[in-house]
Amino acid sequence: MKKIKAFAKVNLYLEVFPKDSNGYHKINSLITYVKDLYDEIIIEKNTNEDIVVCNIKELEKTNFIYQVLKILRKNLVIKDFYKITLKKNIPIGAGLGGGTSDAISLAKFFKCDKVSAEQICKKIGYDSYFFYSKYKTALVSGYGELVSKYKKKITIRKKDLIFTNINCDTKKVYEAFDKLDYEHTEKQNNLTKAACKLYPILNNYLKIGQMSGSGSTFIYKYKIENIKKSF
């Protein structure tokens, strides 16, 4: 039995560009880990199937972890089946990358090869490449695959965040974003308007915070303003 931690992330700013000819959005973002917020994962061998046991029951059937194990087994990185016990501390639908972090942390635990890592990252999405990188804070662009180290130290803790307890659906936020006129935002988050349109209660937090990812967590503005002095 092995135990690992999967840390949350926040977008200190996020610019999403309109869909390109391939039907995908390019992004430009500064991402860092939340130092004291993480999911806990226990890894045990199982007999003849993969099982995910989670304190949030709805995540036991639909979870990126199954996809990771499937790809790793197909590519002969692993041979055995596993029981994964997942204790979720990172809120879901909160723009903190919890599900992606869980999956990539597991892939890194198994020391997956570059081919498997690329397949997993493409399958899971934008944040995957950041979590797979070795950087604590990084500039992320392209489709998430361009990740470079941000040299200045940034520390974000739970006390710097506003947890709204709203479960934002990332796919729906992007669909709402596509219906809006594109607006360039300088070091902010241009998914905010789309998220607030879908979940109007988020408007209550705009004066005191800046949204992370596709919502629903906000970073206190005083913290963001202090960080922006280093940009």
Token pair in block for residue 140: 């992320």
For residue 201, CA distances in Å to 44, 130, 195 come to 41, 30, 10
d(CA 149, CA 7): 18
d(CA 88, CA 58): 12
Choosing from 20, 61, 113, 127, the catalytic residue is: 127
**161 bridge partner residues:** 219
Amino acid in position 120: I
Task: Please confirm, yes or no, whether 127 is among the known catalytic residues.
Answer: yes
How many CB atoms within 10 Å of residue 181? 6
Token pair in block for residue 29: 């973002």
Phi–psi pair at 151, nearest 5 degrees: -75, -25
Choosing from 2, 3, 5, 9, the catalytic residue is: 9
**164 bridge partner residues:** none
Task: Please confirm, yes or no, whether 123 is among the known catalytic residues.
Answer: no
Order across the sheet with 161-162: list the strands. Answer: 161-162, 218-220, 209-211
d(CA 33, CA 131): 9
Mind telling me the catalytic residues?
Answer: 9, 127
